[in-house]
Structure 1
């Protein structure tokens, strides 16, 4: 396996984070205004104390993956839940243990923050991802329903 370290993201990494999100299938900017807006959203995420982004660094020089996390309070718990909205590793680096390292960084952070659970969602079409999460000890515990408003 390559020399991979997990680090908290910095603002200088925003363009790379946006590229990883596009690889995950998130919307791409249609114009310069969109690019600026997306950068501001990531910057806002970085400075929010209830949110974190970790990156997987190859040889301390290249970002090859990322995970975003949110600490959510629940009405029926005294402890937070960690929610993982995005987890992506560049396709070229799949099956090298990088996703596992990113998830393990989430588990460590969740334990440090006394979270009662970690929750994530994975699109129905992402069968390989489902197997990956199950292999790491996640269980399918719910169905997700959405209503698009745009």
Structure 2
């Protein structure tokens, strides 16, 4: 049985392994631990894990953002959605995303936004199955080389 709960520091090594699957590159575990402490102290961040017993199968991060437009309702940005290759197509991602959506509702969010790499076609099908729709917008990213 898969349970969804907030991720704690004892799962950080397993989380870094999941992120290696996501980005095909290792994550500096020392930096991950430092930033995890910052995230845990900030109520705008939600970091969920999907567990089978003690095994971390997947994770998702949500960030609550305040808005100054219209009714000034907050919205959520979802990042770093990952499910282990060993656990895909077993409902793990669905449970993670459903739990995050419930948290967005609880916090009064107007909408949820996420981006996914153009090449991740299977992920796009998954997001659409959950009710996310591609909107005709352009996404831009600028990597800062000084960081």
TM-score, length-scaled by structure 1: 0.89
Gaps of 5+ in 1: none
Shift of 1:6: 0.3
Shift of 1:143: 2.4
Matched, 1:56 2:50: yes
Report SS of the residue matched to 1:5: strand
Say if 2:12 and 2:32, in contact at 8 Å, map to a contact too.
no
Residue from 127, 131, 145 that aligns with 2:125? 131
Structural mapping, 1:25-104, within 5 Å:
25=23, 27-29=25-27, 34-58=28-52, 60-76=53-69, 77-104=71-98
Shift of 1:27: 4.6
**1:22 alignment partner in structure 2:** 20
Say if 1:74 and 1:80, in contact at 8 Å, map to a contact too.
yes
Report SS of the residue matched to 2:15: helix
**1:146 alignment partner in structure 2:** 141
Matched, 1:119 2:117: no
User: What RMSD, in angstroms, separates the aligned Cα atoms of the two structures?
Assistant: 1.4
Distance 1:130 1:89, change over 3 A: same
Shift of 1:11: 1.7
Gaps of 5+ in 2: none
Q: Deviations over 1:44-85 (max 9, x none)?
A: 112211001010011x22110001110011221422111111
TM-score, length-scaled by structure 2: 0.90
Structure 1 outlier segments of 4+, above 3 Å: none
